[in-house]
């Protein structure tokens, strides 16, 4: 974002309160700009160059934000919903103020890696069918998963609506009445993983996404946990798109 902004608008957009609350902070002498006490909440500041501090702590301006979430089950991949809790509801106000949205979606009962950002260009590149960005899932499947299933997925399977999936890679971790697998797909049709196994006469009972392109879920991030992407992770995403 170029140009200057009102001080109260800048701090409000970054999640430090409403504009009236920010004006009160300024009146209370809690805000400085370039080391000097801010006298007017309407003063113009350069978000990239001005050093703004609240209660002595420097305010970091970001036009874009990139978040990794370990999505828990029971939460929907949306910015708002009249009935269910959304992934945005899990964010701290500091993050939510920048209005990030989920890149793609995970089903309500699916867990794992979800990227949230307000960078529409990156989101578009990651979701573009032309890019064939791979997504890997861990799944528990009711039924004995066999090498024949893997061969069928590698060819592409016909779903219940007649659509034939692009080739996918199946790794069988354990086969039995409850099989454990990893599946990598390059598209994101509605309930695709579940429908692929259903086409083979089996039922997915647990599903978790562990990677999207070169971005892997942080194993130390608990369900519902959120953190910003590192510079290295951002570079990997940029290279993948």
Quote the CA–CA distance of 100 and 102 in Å, as a whole number: 7
Instruction: Show which residues are catalytic.
Output: 107
Question: Structure tokens of 175?
Answer: 């086969």
Buried b (16+ CB within 10 A) or exposed e, 209-232: bbbbbbbebeeeeeeeebeebeee
Strand-pair partners of 204: 141
DSSP strands (E only) in the chain: 5-6, 31-33, 36-37, 44-45, 52-54, 57-58, 66-71, 101-102, 111-117, 135-142, 169-174, 178-185, 203-212, 215-216, 226-228
Strand-pair partners of 126: none
Question: Structure tokens of 228?
Answer: 């910003």
Contact 94, 88 (CB under 8 A): no
For helices 120-127 and 231-240, angle between their N-to-C axes, nearest 10 degrees: 50
Quote the CA–CA distance of 226 and 83 in Å, as a whole number: 23
| Sign, CA torsion 75/192/212/122 | negative
């Amino acid at each position: 974002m170029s140009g200057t902004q009102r001080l109260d608008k800048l701090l409000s957009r970054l999640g430090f309160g409403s504009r009236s609350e920010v004006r009160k902070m300024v009146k209370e002498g809690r805000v400085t700009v370039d080391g000097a006490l801010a006298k007017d909440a309407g003063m113009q500041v350069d978000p990239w160059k001005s050093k703004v501090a609240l209660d002595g702590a420097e305010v970091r301006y970001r036009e874009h934000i990139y978040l990794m979430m370990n999505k828990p089950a029971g939460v929907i991949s949306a910015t708002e919903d009249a009935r269910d809790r959304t992934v945005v509801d899990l964010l701290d106000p500091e993050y939510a103020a920048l209005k990030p949205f989920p890149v793609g979606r995970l089903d309500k009962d699916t867990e794992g890696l979800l990227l949230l950002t307000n960078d529409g260009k990156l989101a578009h590149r990651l979701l573009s069918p032309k890019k064939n960005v791979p997504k890997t899932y861990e799944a528990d499947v009711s039924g004995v998963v066999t090498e024949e299933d893997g061969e069928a997925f590698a060819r592409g399977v016909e779903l219940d609506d007649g659509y034939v999936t692009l080739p996918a890679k199946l790794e069988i971790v354990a086969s039995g009445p409850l099989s454990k697998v990893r599946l990598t797909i390059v598209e994101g049709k509605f309930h695709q993983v579940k429908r692929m196994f259903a086409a083979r006469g089996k039922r997915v009972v647990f599903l978790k996404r562990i990677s999207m392109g070169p971005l892997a879920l942080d194993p130390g991030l608990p369900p519902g946990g959120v953190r910003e992407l590192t510079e290295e992770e951002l570079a990997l995403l940029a290279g993948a798109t």
